Amino acid sequence: MNLFDVYPLYNVTPVQAKGIVVTDDKGQEYLDYYGGHAVISIGHSHPHYVKRLKEQLDKIGFYSNAVQNPLQVELATKLGQLSGCEDYNLFLCNSGAEANENALKLASFHTSKTRVIAFKNGFHGRTSAAVAATDNEKINAPLNKQQKVSILPLNDIDAFKQEITKGDICAVILEPIQGVGGLDEPTSAFFQEIAALAAENDVLLIADEVQSGFGRSGKFFGFQHHNIRPDIISIAKGMGNGFPVGGILIHEKIKASYGLLGTTFGGNHLACAATLAVLEVLEQDNLIENAAQLGVYFNEKTAEIPQVKRTKGRGLMLGLEFDFEVAELRKKLIFNQHLFTGGAKDKKVLRILPALNITKAHIDTFFNALKAELN
Ligand SMILES: Cc1ncc(COP(=O)(O)O)c(C=O)c1O
């Protein structure tokens, strides 16, 4: 059997990884400034993470959601404390798309309405409603197009008002910092106005923190830069540092009932142990503060590169915008400089999403490599 050929692959075969260093099958080391699509939050094979997962595997790796799992309770408590979201309840699933799918479904259950507002260049995953809320025709099958979604320009409050007042909207979903799209953000004024209009119109506000959450933006959640409170917050990626896990934080005003949401694998013992290990390292090593500080340092260093039009993003969720498409540059960075970076829907943006415990020296190394390829 062959693999279903959907991924254009770089010819690199990682076999080992530690911290920010990924080693391939020929012993070549690469510095990882991308974390495999923003997934590696505390560094590859972090010792505390490895220990916690191994210990958990020796005890129990999985049982279904038909029995008590105290690790889920421990995780909800710790997540509430560290994120400042103690007035939310946690539902655990397995991926970012699934988190958003559950968030949208819950909004529809809660409001008994069907239409969703999403935004241009947004990305929310590849499942039914999540992909329909994603601004990419190519990944929406005819089946997905049955969903009722209106995709509006970001930061256009008049367009938003016109749609939300029509009475059939259940949810508005947005990324506090767009990931795949290319690091654009809602302004604070826009975020605050849509939050207020959502509340007035019985619409749930969903912050898709799948990429921007868990400290990446320099605060626990990206929306916390804007002084708003979403009704539902979706999480995944950095949450498990590579272990597949996702979830939604649901404001306590939204009531649960048996069977409303559910999953076989979601919240299993290993997923909880992985997420708890991530939270413990974020806290012990002050990684959110580190992300905030290094984001500032990264911005300062950008001034040394005249080819960069501007830096976008916050903390260690960053994009460098050039006046040329970056695909060739990314290849050169991998094969000549041995470092991984990311691309975006906006082909002129180079995405930088390293582990949150990188140092200034790692950033200096990145800029030296970039200068070598640009000059
Ligand atoms: C903001 C955002 N939401 C949702 C997703 C989908 O997550 P997953 O690939 O885990 O389904 C992604 C993935 O890139 C994302 O960046």
pLDDT digits (tens, 9 = 90+) for 40-94: 999 999 999 999 999 999 999 999 999 999 999 999 999 999 999 999 999 999 9
Pairwise CA distance, residues 229 & 246, whole Å: 20
User: What HEC string does 117-147 produce?
Assistant: EEECCCCCCCCHHHHHCCCCHHHCCCCHHHC
Provide the residue type at 130 as one letter: A
pLDDT of residue 105: 98
Ligand 1: atom nearest CA of 130 is 4
Ligand 1 pocket test, candidate residues 34, 124, 353, most atoms within 8 A of CB: 124
Nearest to residue 22, comparing CAs of 11, 41, 8, 36? 36
Residue 360 Cα to ligand 1 midpoint, Å, equals 28
What pTM was estimated for this model as a whole? 0.98
Adjacent-strand bridge partners of 150: 117
Tell me the two tokens of residue 311.
């830096």
Q: What is the pLDDT of residues 289-320, one digit of tens each?
A: 999 999 999 999 999 999 999 999 999 999 99
Q: Which residues of 9-29 are buried (b: 16+ CB within 10 A; e: fewer)?
A: eeeeeeeebebbebebeeeee
Alpha-helical runs (H) found in the chain: 35-38, 47-59, 70-83, 96-111, 128-132, 157-164, 188-200, 269-284, 287-302, 327-335, 360-374
The mean per-residue pLDDT over the stretch 114-142 comes to: 98
Q: Is the CB of 195 under 6 A from ligand 1?
A: no
Nearest to residue 38, comparing CAs of 96, 83, 98, 99? 96
Residue 351 CA, chain-centre distance (Å), reads 13
Q: Average pLDDT over the chain, rounded to whole?
A: 98
Tell me the two tokens of residue 21.
């260093």
Residue 303 Cα to ligand 1 midpoint, Å, equals 31
CATH annotation of 47-284: 3.40.640.10
Residue 213 Cα to ligand 1 midpoint, Å, equals 11
* 32-45+286-374: CATH superfamily: Aspartate Aminotransferase, domain 1 (3.90.1150.10)
**If DSSP codes are grouped into helix, strand and coil, which group holds residue 14?**
strand
Q: Where in the chain is the domain with CATH 3.40.640.10?
A: 47-284
Above 90 in pLDDT, residue 375? Answer: no
Provide the residue type at 358 as one letter: I
Q: Where in the chain is the domain with CATH 3.90.1150.10?
A: 32-45+286-374
